[in-house]
Amino acid sequence: MRFTIKRDEFLKGLNIASRAVQNKTPVPVLTNLKLDLNEEGLFITGSNYDLTIKTLIPHNVENNEIIRNYKEGSTLLNSRIFCEIIRKMESEEVTVEVIDSTLVTISDANSDYKLNCVRPEEYPDLDLDPEEISLTMTTAEFGLMVDQTAFAASTKEQRPYLTAINLEAGEGILTATATDSARMAKKNMSIPEGINFNVNIPARMMSEIAHLVEGTSSLEISVSNKKALFTFGKTIIATRLIAGDYPNTRNIAPRIVNHTLEVNAQSLIKAIDRANILSIDRENVVDLIMSEEGIEISAKSSQVGSAVERIDNYRYEGNPLTVSFNSEFVVAAVKALGSEDVLFSFVGEMKPFVIKNPSDESIIQVVTPVRTY
């Protein structure tokens, strides 16, 4: 294998594929990137088994020659070191050449690097074949779906399926759900009829993919009972699924509502953020004290002191009610709604409550209160 390549295009491809590579892995060969050069162009593959990313740099892009003076072939190169060299080089083009099965040279006008490499046969076979059930959406829709839900997934591995976003397709609707059991985010999207699946995809990977698809216009999702594939531009990403039935979350949002509060999202976030300075004894727990006469956020520490924040411009309906909650959960939920005003619906002080964008029925956030003593 040998090629001379435009460095900026090369770096874009390396930056995509290397995001799947972990420096510490029980499978040392996966610290490498796989480079395959053939008549289509240069394929770069990175993987940690759970996540595999394969991207193509074509020989020519819009009549610009990206790769020239090449000879087909494959090799495996340490991802971290190889990417760092290419990133720090300064010339417009770099030349990569496999000298023998154990040595690769990387060079430009002023730099000569020799890197030990690994034979391509040692790389595992990774399943990147497309699946039958597939779905196309814009990357904007996908990004919003992930942003509005992923934060609510658990970061603890005790119940692995809670670290996932559950994607359920059926009856023309795709529902993304994430919950760590103390809060839940659920987003609905219209999709074509006849697409049916129910899979759990690690929330971390969904966020990673949302980041990687930024800048492209649409992506295709295809799923089986083993893996999910995300295809966009010249890149294909495969993620493992998390086994196990996802909990039934259909009935978590209460049907009866006894108290509703509509407030400006920014005023609420800032008031919570300030009052939270005094949430020391019960970490991050603040009280929302509601009546038709006024809305307050309060927090108290016996050692340090107390905070009371009054919120102007609210609309409250119902008897007076005080609810204590984890301020981080409520702030994250309110931010995820992305709306100017937010609407809270309460059943009672210890029942899960709903936070919505008053003008967008596709997304709901549910938070369970914290017991106060």
Catalog residues that contact its own copies under the rule CB under 8 A.
Answer: 78, 81, 84-85, 88-90, 103, 110-116, 270-271, 273-274, 277-278, 303-312
Residue number with CB closer to its own copies (69 or 266): 266
Answer whether 3's CB lies under 8 Å from 105's CB. no
List b or e across 340-367, with b for residues whose CB sees 16 or more CB atoms inside 10 angstroms.
Answer: ebbbbbbbeeeebbbbbbeeeebbbbbb
Residue number with CB closer to its own copies (138 or 266): 266
Specify the 3-state DSSP secondary structure of 284. Answer: coil
CB of 43 to its own copies, least distance (A): 23
CB of 349 to its own copies, least distance (A): 23
Q: Compute φ and ψ for 82, nearest 5 degrees.
A: -65, -45
How many Å apart are CA 178 and CA 314, to the nearest integer?
29
List b or e across 97-113, with b for residues whose CB sees 16 or more CB atoms inside 10 angstroms.
Answer: bbeeeeebebbbeeeeb
Single-letter code of the amino acid located at 276:
N
Residue number with CB closer to its own copies (172 or 305): 305
* Residue 227 vs residues 45, 52, 113, 224: alpha-carbon distances, Å: 17, 11, 38, 6
CB of 271 to its own copies, least distance (A): 7
Place of tokens 């008897």: 319
Across the strands, what pairs with 103? 100, 116
Burial of 60 (C-beta count, 10 Å sphere; 0-12/13-18/19+): exposed
Residue number with CB closer to its own copies (85 or 133): 85
Answer whether 83's CB lies under 8 Å from 15's CB. yes
CB of 309 to its own copies, least distance (A): 5
CB of 11 to its own copies, least distance (A): 14
Residue number with CB closer to its own copies (164 or 268): 268
CB of 269 to its own copies, least distance (A): 11
Residue number with CB closer to its own copies (276 or 345): 276
Query: Which H or E run contains 291?
Result: strand 285-291
CB of 37 to its own copies, least distance (A): 20
Rama region for 338: left / alpha / beta (φ>0; ψ in -120 to 50; rest): left
CB of 115 to its own copies, least distance (A): 4
Residue number with CB closer to its own copies (62 or 112): 112
How many Å apart are CA 183 and CA 171, to the nearest integer?
26
Residue number with CB closer to its own copies (27 or 103): 103
Burial of 27 (C-beta count, 10 Å sphere; 0-12/13-18/19+): exposed
Q: Taking Cα atoms as reference points, which of 260, 268, 253 lies closest to residue 344? A: 260
CB of 255 to its own copies, least distance (A): 35
Residue number with CB closer to its own copies (229 or 289): 289
Place of tokens 């709306």: 339
